[in-house]
Structure 1
Amino acid sequence: MAEFTIRVYKNRDYNAVRILFTEGMLEHIPATCAYMLKLSRAQFILFISFISLLLVSRSYLLSLFSLAVVFMAARRQLTKEYHQYVDRCQREDLLDIEESYMASNNSCFWVAESNGRVVGMVAVQSVPHSSEAMVLRRLSVAKDQRHKGIAKALCTKVIDFARQRGYKMLTLETSMIQLAAHKLYETLGFEKTDDKVIPSLLGRFANFSILTYEYKIKDE
């Protein structure tokens, strides 16, 4: 028997959903930092900074300390960008979930519940000015509830919803570091169709991109 159930969003889920989204997004900060540290350009800058500081101060300890300060400043900027994204989403569609997703027949929001706790979420909307495409949004599963098939079940719910309404295409966006998500989408039959670098200073420096996936809906 499944350890979770999927149901339509209710007003009482509001705080849990917003917390789940925030935790899920901020969880990507360490992986993004690790990715950036592997970049040759980042390593070059750190190396040059260390050598320059060493030549000026003639102190390995002071140079290492200064390098740590540079790293912490970069991590702080990265964390700030993640928080800004979360805040923007909380002020946009997640500010009024009922209005954003439940007021139309061609949009919906679901939660996965386990033992009375919201442990997963996903949403879908029709693509503006299109009668054939929908977009999957806000997929997130609590960290301690993964590997139980929740994300797959939520995605399947969205696919079925789109098919029942006669849509031919389902699209979504995800970041390049969300490797587990890529594997899930590809297992379900999604195909990567685009790859765009985030147009921020940090995004361009790190060549950090957002991937677009598409799923062609077939009639059963």
Structure 2
Amino acid sequence: MVPDTAFRGLRHHPESLLIYTAMTGLLPAIVLCGRYFYSRRVIHGYLECAMSRDMGDIEGFYTKSPDSCLWVAVLEGKVVGVVAAVGQQKSGGAVELQRMSVDRSCRRCGVGVALGRKVLEFAAAHRYSSIVLGTTAYTTAAHQLYQRLGFRCVGVTNGYVTQDARWSLLQRIFYRVHHHHYRLDVPNSKIISNGQH
């Protein structure tokens, strides 16, 4: 009687079918809204963390140590890009490329390559053995930029959790990203003394 009542009887109750159809269409919308909400929450948490560290005192953080530096790309008086290098002695003499960002209107114009080369020159000048970076970017252009600079992908973490994040169960369900790990060995970076390729 249960299957008969629950399923076969539906044809006699079109209003129930209408409700179930509406709910079925509503479920994907609820899931997408949940993903947006929790992605936004995680990104804002990441930005707060960045502001409490290096980005809250850029000059103090990047001038305190000779093992770190930050470059800004300016075009017609407007900041159009930024990148940072932070020495990671605990990682076997690697420098980490961080904060790579280029204004959307200036992408594919060479700004990212120019900023990336600054990090490569910094690593060579400070005798780092390698440069590492991590990115959660899904755009192919970001990955092509790193590959163009000579980086190779050495791994991918599925379900990446940002540093210092306090994660709820819902954040773990809705905020799912791949974190790509890239590495470049400095002797193979094709940099010569004047910084030209």
TM range (shorter): 0.7 to 0.9
The answer to whether 1:163 aligns with 2:124 is: yes
- Answer with 1 or 2: which has the greater Rg: 2
1:203–1:209 CA contact under 8 A, matched in 2:
no
Tell me the distance in 2 between the aligned counterparts of 1:205 and 1:73.
6
CA 1:55–1:90 in structure 2 vs 1: closer, same or farther (change >3 Å)?
farther
Asked if 1:58 is matched to 2:8, the reply is: no
Name the amino acid aligned to 1:215.
Answer: L
Output one character per residue of 1:73-124: Cα deviation in whole Å (capped at 9) or x when no partner.
Answer: 3321222222221222122221111222122212111100011111100000
TM-score, structure 2 as length reference: 0.74
Q: 5+ residue gaps in structure 2?
A: 1-13, 162-166, 193-197
- CA gap 1:192/1:58 in 2 versus in 1, 3 angstroms: same
State the distance in 2 between where 1:171 and 1:76 align: 30
Q: CA deviation at 1:130?
A: 5.1
> How many percent identity over aligned positions?
29
Give, as a single letter, the amino acid of the residue that structure 2 aligns with 1:179: T
Kindly report structure 1 stretches of 4+ aligned residues shifted beyond 4 Å.
54-57, 200-207
1:217 to 167, 174, 186: 186
Offset at residue 194 of structure 1 (A): 2.1
The range that moved more, 136-145 or 177-186, is 177-186
Structure with a larger share of its residues in helix: 1
Structure 2 SS opposite 1:129 = helix
In structure 2, distance between residues paired with 1:121 and 1:160: 16
Q: 1:172 aligns with which of 133, 151, 156?
A: 133
1:1-220 mapped onto 2 (5 Å cutoff): 58-59=18-19, 60-61=21-22, 63-65=24-26, 67-129=28-90, 132-175=93-136, 177-197=138-158, 198-199=160-161, 201=169, 202=171, 208-218=177-187, 220=192
What stretches of structure 1 of length at least 5 have no aligned partner? 1-53
Structure 1 length normalisation: TM-score? Answer: 0.67
CA deviations 1:15-35 (Å, max 9, x no partner) are xxxxxxxxxxxxxxxxxxxxx
Count of residues in Structure 1 that have an aligned counterpart in Structure 2? 167
